[in-house]
Amino acid sequence: MAFIADALSRVKPSATIAVTQKARDLKAQGREVISLSVGEPDFDTPTHICDAAVEAIRRGETRYTPVLGIPQLREAAAKKFKRENGLDYKASDIIVATGGKHILFNAFLATINPGDEVIVPAPYWVSYPEMVAICGGTNVFVDTTMEHGFKLQPEDLERAITPRTKWLVLNSPSNPSGAAYTHDELKKVTDVLLRHPQVHILTDDIYEHLVYGDFKFATVAQVEPNLFERTLTMNGVSKAYAMTGWRIGFAAGPAPLIKAMDMLQGQQTSGACSIAQWAAVAALEGPQDHLATFRKAFQERRDLVVSMLGQAKYLQCPSPEGAFYVFPSCKEAIGRKTPEGKVLESDVDFVTALLEAEGVAVVQGSAFGTGPNFRVSYAASNATLEDACGKIQRFCASLS
């Protein structure tokens, strides 16, 4: 009898974490490495949020919290959904968890039976399919293309839906592509979903506030109110408030689902960290001035990276609408040789050779289900990005 559960044989390690670790190993060997593989803002958490956490400690807010989250945070989340998304949720419709990943995992664990299908547009965040696999579900990947801005097309969604389809996962703006759906683009997707009442929608809105130019964010239940009872709307404070390490995510959805997730979480972690929850209240209810500062900085960085990688030999780099990633194609580099004579046969070879030659760490697109591409996180200073992109240009120019 095997000691390790069979379910783990269906799961692959996170490629983003693996690349980050390889970069750390090279640094430990004395190499200079620029890591553009990590998906977190490089800004400090705003001061008023940190102050709220300190004040919570001094008030003695250091005990167990309700499994669903402290009432003050669930109320703040309900107000946020109403204020920013036009969605009418009660505090009882909301659950708080230890990060957005925890929300997603509990939603799948609470609903998926063996053989249930989950539609996951590719490229996708690396953890979606692994969570589905752990829970015994069947991933149904639907490819998107650079020509369509890496966005799910309604006719492709229609073809993918079967009687066993339980969920569609929709991440906008997207990790890894940065693609974000307009209101009209979402409406075409929701029109398909209205014809299939067995399909629920898990919308990952964690990058909501990181959209650029004149782009207007929209979410599924806002675009199509008839899908309100079939949608779990997930968000959190990690990206827009630079609170990745605070580990607070929240979601709103139909009462039976929230109740099931509450029961599961009660046997897992119970309530999220009390201090982090009070900090999240301050994030949602306090000053929002930093959002414009973050957006301006990230848009400048996006434009810098898109411009420089667009000038690199053998690369194509579209300009995304949001998040802090670009997802260039390295298709024209495949089959070419490095100066050492190594033939690049895949995007894995491309990112490995880039790291070894120039000390720049990025993540292969195939880890996200789409290749040959690679993901660059531009959550770094302009100077760092200019240096890294120059090295990528030099590496590409060296190929023959």
- Statement to judge: residues 158 and 25 lie in one domain: no
Q: Within a 13 Å sphere around the CA of 381, how many CA atoms are in the beta-carbon half?
A: 4
Question: 255-267, pLDDT tens digit by residue?
Answer: 999 999 999 999 9
CATH number reported for the structural domain that contains residue 376 in this entry: 3.90.1150.10
Question: 185-244, pLDDT tens digit by residue?
Answer: 999 999 999 999 999 999 999 999 999 999 999 999 999 999 999 999 999 999 999 999
Question: 110-136, pLDDT tens digit by residue?
Answer: 999 999 999 999 999 999 999 999 999
DSSP code at position 211: B
- Statement to judge: residues 67 and 162 lie in one domain: yes
Question: 87: domain range?
Answer: 46-283
- Per-residue pLDDT band for 8 (boundaries 50, 70, 90) equals confident
Question: 269-305, pLDDT tens digit by residue?
Answer: 999 999 999 999 999 999 999 999 999 999 999 999 9
CB neighbourhood size of 334 (10 A): 18
CB neighbourhood size of 330 (10 A): 30
Question: 45-55, pLDDT tens digit by residue?
Answer: 999 999 999 99
Last residue of a domain, one of 283, 316, 331: 283
Q: Which of 10, 11, 14, 13 is nearest to 375 (CA)?
A: 14
Question: 347-397, pLDDT tens digit by residue?
Answer: 999 999 999 999 999 999 999 999 999 999 999 999 999 999 999 999 999
- Statement to judge: residues 377 and 359 lie in one domain: yes
Q: Which of 274, 202, 208 is nearest to 241 (CA)?
A: 208
pTM for the structure as a whole: 0.96
- Secondary structure string (H, E, C) spanning 368-383: HCCCCEEEEECCCCHH
- Statement to judge: residues 184 and 88 lie in one domain: yes
CATH number reported for the structural domain that contains residue 69 in this entry: 3.40.640.10
Last residue of a domain, one of 222, 254, 283: 283
Mean pLDDT rounded to a whole number for the chain: 96
- Statement to judge: residues 292 and 275 lie in one domain: no
Q: What is the total count of domains within the chain?
A: 2
Instruction: Please report, in angstroms and rounded to a whole number, the separation of the first and last CA atoms in the chain.
Output: 52
- Statement to judge: residues 223 and 329 lie in one domain: no
